[in-house]
């Protein structure tokens, strides 16, 4: 709970629940023991330095990885990385850092004032460690912040010595940005984007066309506010979305015809940056699942610690009816009296007479709970005689006889089940109901979006169905395959939906159902979403393009025939056909044309790039349902 505070409405002290996040602590464990940690946080005990490192990693993992230097090879990225030389591993990790740092970019003034950000400069294309150090030394000698990218190559009129050469600046300029402040005279919005300075004129032309400025309007703005005035006007008027109405294909054709420049991809990048400078393109933060948390806390994996393994355990305490033991990895275990060796019962011996505290004994794991970090074990001689058989993972060209036998048994079981005589299961969960699909939909009709019901499946006792409400009148039935079942009545220890696996029903509901419901909310809250039918969306697009013949437009609407899907409806212009692409909602975002996007902004940008890159022949779509693909109209690049 948070610190208590006075609530004026209730006239009492209240505390809010705090969100607890478990993150990988490898960097923190390595950092807190380094000499650098003592220098950064003098007088602080190691445990506090460890906690500080966790917080710093949560804020910006990339900075913390960069600060490790050569010690980064001590972090486990792949279980087999110890098989290659450290020098080779470091080389490829540096390559990965270069890719990510240049993708994210660096605010150059932050790098001048923050040591952790400064560590990232060496990974910027065109710099490296030596040139980055020289640049920092020179800029610090100026005694002032950097106002524009151009100043990096010097401004002798203002007494600013060059911090790098022209070629170096050409290579790194678009990866170093300066936060835009509209109150600063001379501030250039384009310096806050991934747009390279050599393309600033094209970006300014696009901004002018979006504002529908003629040559006289452009001259007036430039004379009054300098070269960046038109872009500043676009931003000040909050009119960046207007660039979506432009057909960039025409710009690309003109640049290629007049100047021999192939700028199609660059134009799309410019449009995206004008709307959202340095948009976050990395994958969304994901919470550790139970398996990853288990490995982090214990050092064990699913391969190194499994049910059926015979291991050494240390006796903690002895009782008349059970033993408390501890595994080498720190997990607490228990051995009940029914799992004691058979000869103890015959000889009338108690646990205290046989074992003592701290004694090491052999036992076999019968149940392992990776979430609660507990284990149940047995010492029965009959079980200990059975050797542990590790599950084999076969290659694509190898036949798995055991799997074939299991499949044969499952098929016989499925065909022999009579649906009318289906076993009635009773599952202890607040959302479980013995409903069929119609009953589940009727119950959910009066509930909110994302609410769900767990119910039995007609596929047998190793399946469940989760029915959840996508929208009013739209319900999705998720088939859940239960694996690792103790018996036909129990819930499987592993639950599989499509290709994703979950450890229990609560985890499945939160990470799968609720996650998709959140994405449905995001889709329906977007300004491009139409609440009507597919036909109504098409009619709206036709009306819009009739009123704006040179503009393209697109919208989203729900697909009621396929719950969990939306239509992306777009019309490149008045004379073009209307196209429809299916958008699938997935727990991590949206899927379009087999590409996954974490949010609506990424989905819309991805849509533009798909059409730009694949053209009329590479993207499968249907124009008015006739299956003619994109042949009836020009490619559309709209947000």
pLDDT digits (tens, 9 = 90+) for 586-601: 999 999 988 999 999 9
| pTM, full prediction | 0.59
pLDDT of residue 6: 80
What average pLDDT does this structure show over 576-583? Answer: 89
pLDDT of residue 405: 83
SS3 content of the chain, % helix, strand, coil (to 5): 45, 15, 40
End-to-end CA distance of the chain: 42
Q: Is the pLDDT of residue 602 over 60?
A: yes
- Give, in order, the Cα–Cα distances in Å from 434 to each of 121, 306, 362, 422, 429: 60, 34, 44, 12, 12
Which string of DSSP letters, residue by residue, matches 469-496?
A: EEETTEEEEEEEEEES-SSSSSPPSEEE
pLDDT of residue 521: 94
List the structure tokens of 280: 């976050």
pLDDT of residue 638: 36
Q: Is the pLDDT of residue 220 over 60?
A: yes
43 in helix, strand or coil? coil
Burial class of 627 by CB neighbour count within 10 A (0 to 12, 13 to 18, 19+): exposed
Backbone angles phi, psi at 578, to 5 degrees: -100, 135
Q: Is the pLDDT of residue 363 over 50?
A: yes
Quote the CA–CA distance of 98 and 319 in Å, as a whole number.
Answer: 58
Please check whether residue 193 is in contact with residue 153, taking contact to mean a CB–CB distance below 8 angstroms.
Answer: no
pLDDT digits (tens, 9 = 90+) for 24-34: 888 998 888 88
List the structure tokens of 269: 């990048």
pLDDT of residue 417: 56
Task: Report which of 310, 326, 320 is spatially closest to residue 358, judged by C-alpha positions.
Answer: 326
Select the more confidently predicted residue: 83 or 615: 83
Say what percent of the chain tops pLDDT 70: 93
Quote the CA–CA distance of 63 and 56 in Å, as a whole number.
Answer: 8
CA atoms lying within 13 Å on the CB side of residue 269: 16
Q: Is the pLDDT of residue 394 over 60?
A: no
pLDDT digits (tens, 9 = 90+) for 1-26: 678 888 777 778 888 888 888 888 88
Left (φ > 0), alpha (ψ -120 to 50) or beta: where does 65 sit?
alpha
């Amino acid at each position: 709970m948070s610190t208590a505070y006075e609530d004026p409405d209730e006239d009492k002290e209240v505390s809010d629940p705090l969100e607890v996040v478990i993150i990988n602590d490898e960097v923190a464990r390595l950092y807190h023991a380094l000499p650098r940690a003592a220098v950064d946080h003098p007088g602080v005990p190691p445990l506090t330095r460890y906690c500080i490192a966790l917080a710093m990693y949560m804020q910006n993992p990339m900075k913390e990885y960069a600060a490790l230097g050569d010690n980064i090879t001590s972090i486990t990225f792949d279980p087999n990385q110890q098989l290659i030389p450290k020098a080779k591993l470091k080389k490829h990790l540096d390559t990965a850092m270069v890719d990510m740092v240049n993708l994210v970019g660096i605010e150059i003034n932050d790098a001048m004032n923050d040591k952790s950000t400064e560590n990232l400069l060496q990974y910027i294309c065109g710099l490296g460690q030596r040139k980055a150090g020289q640049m920092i030394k020179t800029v610090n000698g100026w005694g002032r912040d950097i106002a524009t990218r151009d100043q990096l190559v010097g401004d002798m009129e203002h007494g600013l010595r060059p911090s790098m050469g022209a070629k170096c600046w050409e290579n790194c300029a678009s990866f170093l940005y300066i936060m835009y402040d509209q109150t600063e005279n001379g501030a250039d919005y384009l310096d806050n984007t991934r747009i390279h300075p050599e393309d600033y004129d094209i970006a300014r032309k696009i901004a002018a066309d979006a504002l529908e400025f003629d040559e006289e309007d452009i001259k007036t703005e430039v004379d009054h506010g300098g070269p960046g005035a038109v872009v500043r006007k676009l931003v000040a008027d909050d009119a960046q979305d207007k660039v979506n109405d432009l057909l960039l294909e025409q710009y690309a054709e003109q640049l290629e015809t007049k100047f021999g420049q192939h700028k199609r991809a660059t134009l799309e990048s410019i449009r995206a940056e004008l709307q959202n400078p340095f948009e976050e393109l990395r994958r969304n933060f994901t919470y550790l699942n139970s398996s990853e948390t288990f490995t982090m806390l214990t050092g064990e994996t699913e391969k190194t610690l499994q049910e059926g393994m015979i291991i050494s355990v240390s006796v903690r305490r002895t009782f008349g009816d059970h033993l408390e033991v501890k595994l080498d990895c720190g997990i607490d275990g228990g051995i009940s009296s029914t799992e004691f060796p058979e000869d103890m019962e015959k000889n009338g011996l108690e646990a205290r007479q046989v074992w003592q505290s701290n004694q090491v004994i052999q036992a076999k794991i019968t149940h392992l709970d990776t979430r609660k970090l507990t284990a149940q074990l047995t010492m029965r001689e009959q079980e200990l005689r059975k050797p542990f058989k590790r599950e084999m993972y076969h290659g694509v060209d190898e036949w798995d006889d055991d799997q074939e036998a299991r499949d044969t048994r499952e098929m016989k079981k499925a065909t022999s089940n009579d649906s009318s005589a289906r076993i009635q299961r009773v599952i202890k969960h607040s959302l479980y109901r013995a409903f069929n699909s119609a009953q589940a939909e009727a119950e959910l009709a009066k509930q909110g979006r994302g609410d769900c019901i767990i119910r039995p499946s007609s596929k047998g006792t190793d399946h469940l169905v989760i029915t959840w409400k996508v929208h009013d009148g739209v319900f999705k039935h998720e088939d859940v395959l239960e694996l690792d079942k103790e018996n036909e009545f129990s819930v499987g220890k592993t639950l599989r939906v499509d290709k994703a696996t979950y450890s229990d029903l609560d985890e499945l509901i939160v990470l799968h159902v609720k996650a998709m419901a959140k994405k449905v909310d995001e889709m329906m809250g977007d300004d491009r979403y139409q609440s009507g039918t597919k036909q109504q969306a098409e009619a709206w697009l036709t009306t819009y393009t009739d009123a704006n013949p040179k503009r393209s437009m697109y919208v989203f609407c729900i697909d009621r025939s396929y719950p969990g899907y939306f239509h992306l409806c777009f019309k490149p212009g008045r004379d073009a056909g209307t196209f429809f692409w299916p958008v699938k909602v997935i727990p991590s975002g949206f899927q379009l044309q087999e590409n996954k996007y974490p949010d609506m902004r990424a989905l819309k940008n991805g849509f533009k790039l798909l059409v730009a890159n694949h053209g009329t022949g590479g993207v499968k779509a249907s124009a008015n349902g006739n299956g003619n693909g994109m042949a009836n109209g020009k490619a559309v690049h709209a947000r």
